[in-house]
Structures are given as C-alpha cells and as structure tokens.
C-alpha cells in the first residue's frame, strides 16, 4: 500500500468516526427530548387531574342545592374551614388554597403539586388575585419536578363561576 492509499484510508476512518460521533449525539439528544416530553405530559396530566377534582366540589361553603348566596359579600373566605386539614375532607373549591402534595410516579420522577385559589376580577380578564369577593374563583395549579426533570414548571389555571338558579 502506498503513502497516498494509507492517507486515504486514514481519512476515511477519520470521516467515519466524525459521522458516528455526530449520529450518536443526535440519538442521545432525541432520547432526552422524548423523555422530557413524557415528563411534561405527566405533569400536565397531574395538573389537569387536580382541576377535575376541584370541579367536583361546591363553589363555596355556603353554596347548596337550595341556596345560592345573593351577593358576593355573603360568600366565605378563601381557605379550608376549621377541621378541614386533609384533602379528603375538602368540601368546596377554596379549601384547596395553599394545598401542596408530592406525587411519585412508577418511574423516576417525583412531582410537587401546589394549588392557589383566589377570587377573580371579571372586569380584568379574571387575572390576578382580586381583593374582594366575587362570584368567580380562579384556580392556579402548579406542578414542579422534584428531580429536576422539568426545566419549567407546568401551570394551569381555570375560572369557576357560581351559577344562579
């Protein structure tokens, strides 16, 4: 084998090595994106499940099938009532204010779910924490990864209205 053939063989091996390294890094990058997408999907599902659970509760402590509070000032304050310290004791939406729960899934990650409830301002696109009582409540659910699998937390918000009869 002459010097030129040797040089061509070394160049071919070097080129093959570069292509292999580039291919491997692309595969690893795609796998990490796939895992991150699955984790985001899990976090979104947990936030949605929390909102669906809250939807099943009454709007307010004073809200019943026979009675709807006539004015916003007659609604209760945000937060759980005395003795409602566990999730299974929550009977209305605002009991979830300040609620935190850690959820572990069958594989690696653990999530922290945080819930905030506030009265919403109907004149300001329901944004922010409105200082007065209204017939609208805003639920904000935040899901964070405790194992740092998520670069950003998942935030879901939902507006509930007290329907009059």
Walking along the chain (165 residues) 10 residues at a time, the average pLDDT comes out as 82 85 81 84 93 90 75 78 76 90 82 92 73 86 88 92 66
Domain extent, residue 73, equals 3-161
Total structural domains within the chain: 1
* pLDDT for the residue 165: 42
Can you give the pTM of this predicted structure? 0.77
Which run of H or E residues covers position 40? helix 3-55
* pLDDT for the residue 128: 65
Burial-class residue 96 by CB neighbours within 10 Å (0-12, 13-18, 19+): buried
E strands, the chain, are: 100-104, 110-119, 136-145, 154-161
* pLDDT for the residue 139: 93
- DSSP letter for 151, please: S
- DSSP letter for 88, please: G
């Amino acid at each position: 084998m002459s010097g030129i053939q040797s040089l061509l063989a070394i160049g071919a091996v070097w080129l093959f090595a570069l292509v292999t390294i580039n291919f491997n890094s692309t595969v690893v990058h795609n796998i990490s994106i796939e895992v991150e997408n699955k984790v985001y999907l899990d976090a979104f599902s947990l936030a949605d499940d929390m909102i669906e659970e809250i939807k099943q509760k009454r709007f307010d402590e004073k809200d019943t099938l026979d009675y709807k509070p006539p004015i916003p000032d007659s609604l209760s304050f945000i937060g759980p009532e005395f003795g409602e310290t566990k999730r299974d004791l929550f009977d209305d939406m605002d009991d979830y204010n300040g609620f935190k729960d850690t959820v572990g899934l069958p594989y690696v990650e653990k999530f922290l779910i945080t819930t905030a409830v506030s009265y919403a301002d109907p004149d300001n696109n329901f944004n922010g924490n409105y200082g007065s009582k209204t017939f609208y409540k805003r639920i904000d659910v935040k899901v964070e990864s405790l194992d740092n699998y998520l670069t950003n937390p998942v935030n879901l918000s939902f507006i509930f209205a007290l329907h009059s009869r």
